[in-house]
Amino acid sequence: MTSQTPGRPKFDAAPSGGGVSPKANTGGSSLSLRLEHVALHAGGKPDGRVLIGDLSLSMNPGERWVLLGPNGAGKSTLLVALAGLLQPNAGSILLQGKPLADWPGEALARQRAWCPQFWLDPFPVSAWETVACALFALQPEQSANEVETRARHWLAEFDVGHLADSDVRMLSGGERQRIALATACAQGAPLLLLDEPSSHLDWSHQALLQARLKTWAANGGTVLAAVHDLNLAWTLATHALLLDGKGGAVHGVREAVLTAEQLSAAYGVPVSLREENDARWFRVDLENSV
């Protein structure tokens, strides 16, 4: 066991050194997230529609997971539960072997970052100040200058460095999304829980997102991202979790989960795929659907 955590992404540092020393933020070795017989109902209510019946799996450092499933299948609810905001209706979620509910809020914030699907910005605030929130919350010993430098660094990483001083309420959807992603990464927690991180992003920025997430995982982080684009899912993921919205779930390495048969069953439309070398392309077979 070392004082420096292998689970912490190494590129989480200020540009040009910046005088930021990554803190040891875990007690154990590498961060893993385990689900044991987890059941989730809509809204977390006991009488809610069953979204997940009985799900056990574990996610480990270096893995990039995509979370797939039709609208309303429970992707966001699962991410909310994994963030600790919602108790599962049955089973337990363990981070480093410790149930989520037993983690103090601030310690948990050093382990996982949650990026929600929707942002409502009621008051004026600049992009860098939004990113800085996460840093102020977790690294109170940092000077304001260091925080601002790091915030601007992460905005630049997601190609919104030029918007650092803009009011977030005036930006386009894709720009707002990239600021949200910069915020999640700036938090510096190894586990990223991203709810539709590719929404509103154009192709070049979807590619940028993939590159950033791959680096994140390569540096020992874990990524779980809900996505709808199967082709993006394939190139992004090492693993996949596919919800069918009726309580069922398939999970494993992407090759085992992203099959025409399983995708067709989950989405209720015929999905066909083309394989070339190790790559797969997906499309919905419109002629044979509905």
Q: Using CB under 8 A, which of the segments 112-120, 149-157, 223-231, 235-243 binds other proteins?
A: 112-120
When binding is defined by CB under 8 A, the residue of 55, 59, 66, 113 that contacts other proteins is 113
Site string for other proteins, 199-238 (x = CB under 8 A): ----------------------------------------
Q: Are 52 and 247 contacting, i.e. CB atoms less than 8 angstroms apart?
A: yes
Tell me the C-alpha distance between 113 and 223, whole Å.
10
Q: Map the footprint of other proteins across residues 69-98, applying CB under 8 A.
A: 76-77, 80, 83-86
Return the SS3 of 87.
coil
CB of 240 to other proteins, least distance (A): 23
Residue with Cβ nearer other proteins (166 or 219): 166
**Which parts of 61-163 fold into alpha helices (H)?**
75-83, 105-109, 127-138, 144-157
Tell me the C-alpha distance between 207 and 148, whole Å.
26
Buried b (16+ CB within 10 A) or exposed e, 247-274: bbbbbeebeebbbbebbbebbeebbebe
CB of 82 to other proteins, least distance (A): 11
Tell me the C-alpha distance between 279 and 231, whole Å.
10
> Quick check: 11 binds other proteins (CB under 8 A)?
no
**Region of residue 49 (left: phi > 0; alpha: psi -120 to 50; beta: else):** beta
Q: Using CB under 8 A, which of the segments 23-31, 92-100, 113-121, 234-242 binds other proteins?
A: 113-121
What six digits make up the tokens of 279? 């790559």
> Quick check: 170 binds other proteins (CB under 8 A)?
yes
Give 17-22 contacts, CB < 8 A, sequence gap 24+. Answer: 18/146, 18/149, 18/150, 18/153, 19/146, 20/142, 20/146, 20/150, 22/188
> Quick check: 257 binds other proteins (CB under 8 A)?
no
Pairing of strands 222-226, 191-195: parallel
Site string for other proteins, 119-158 (x = CB under 8 A): xxxxxxxx--xx--xx-xxx--------------------
CB of 137 to other proteins, least distance (A): 4
Residue with Cβ nearer other proteins (7 or 271): 7
> Quick check: 46 binds other proteins (CB under 8 A)?
no
> Quick check: 167 binds other proteins (CB under 8 A)?
yes
The residues binding other proteins (CB under 8 A) are: 42-44, 76-77, 80, 83-86, 104-109, 112-114, 116-126, 129-130, 133-134, 136-138, 165-167, 170, 187
